[in-house]
Amino acid sequence: AKIEASERELLQRHVQDSNDVASGFLIRIISVISMICLLLVGTRIVVIRHERGRRKAEEELKETSLALEHAVEGISRVDDSGFYVTVNKPYANMLQTEPARLVGKPWMSIVNVDDHPKVEAAFKSMQARGKAETEVKAIRKDGSDFYLKMTMVSALDDTDKRLSGHYCFIKDSTRERREQQELINARKAALEASLAKTEFLANMSHEIRTPMNGVIGMSGLLAQTALNEQQRQYVDTIMV
């Protein structure tokens, strides 16, 4: 009986130990599963945030591109080698071409050769100060010339703040320049007319004064002669 009781006690302990081992193993499995679930949830959150960030960046890029496309002035982006990277529609329209035809071409190709030194000087000023403005004669697709007001703004790399090109803003100033020239011509014509009037009056004064001096002189001589009363009145009227 004592042996049987001892065996039962050993069996109970063995079962209890087995249960404890199974419980511990199950707890470990649950812990691992929980960690995996947390990891998956965290990864999913990161992916969702990244996806939202990507979509937001794409939306902002689309908005920027849309604003660039419908800007009033011509806007372009030029790389550090001097080639067009992006060109908006108004920029290309001024040159009578399409944006795609300008991308990849040298940005100085739109400027009349005679004005290249002026643009190069403005570019050096932009490199030193970050911004520069000038007015140049540009060339349309059909070869005709027109005037542009050009503003250059330096573009810096986000990582090392190194100059990575520049933005070029252009505005057709042909009409403004023509109106200014017309105003200059009008002022010149008015000045010439005023000078002509002054010269005319001076000449007329001389032409009138010369014979009048003779008339007055002769009237003085006449006054010294014997005159009747009526003749004397006439001479006095001339002398007054």
Residue with tokens 């979509």: 55
Task: Give percent above pLDDT 90 in the chain.
Answer: 30
Can you name the residues that pair with 83 across neighbouring β-strands? 106
**What would the pLDDT profile of 29-39 be if each residue is shown by its tens digit?**
666 676 776 67
**What would the pLDDT profile of 78-132 be if each residue is shown by its tens digit?**
998 999 999 999 999 999 999 999 999 999 999 999 999 999 999 999 988 989 9
d(CA 92, CA 170): 10
Packed helices 174-223 and 229-239: angle between N→C axes, nearest 10 degrees = 150
Tokens for 164, please give them.
């990575």
**What would the pLDDT profile of 177-214 be if each residue is shown by its tens digit?**
888 888 888 888 888 888 888 887 777 776 777 777 77
With beta carbons less than 8 A apart as the criterion, state whether 138 and 146 touch: yes
With beta carbons less than 8 A apart as the criterion, state whether 107 and 122 touch: no
Distances (CA, A) of 74 to 93, 96, 110: 8, 12, 13
With beta carbons less than 8 A apart as the criterion, state whether 127 and 156 touch: no
Can you name the residues that pair with 165 across neighbouring β-strands? 79
Report the greatest alpha carbon distance in the chain.
195
In which order are the strands placed within the sheet that holds 74-79?
84-87, 74-79, 163-172, 145-156, 131-139
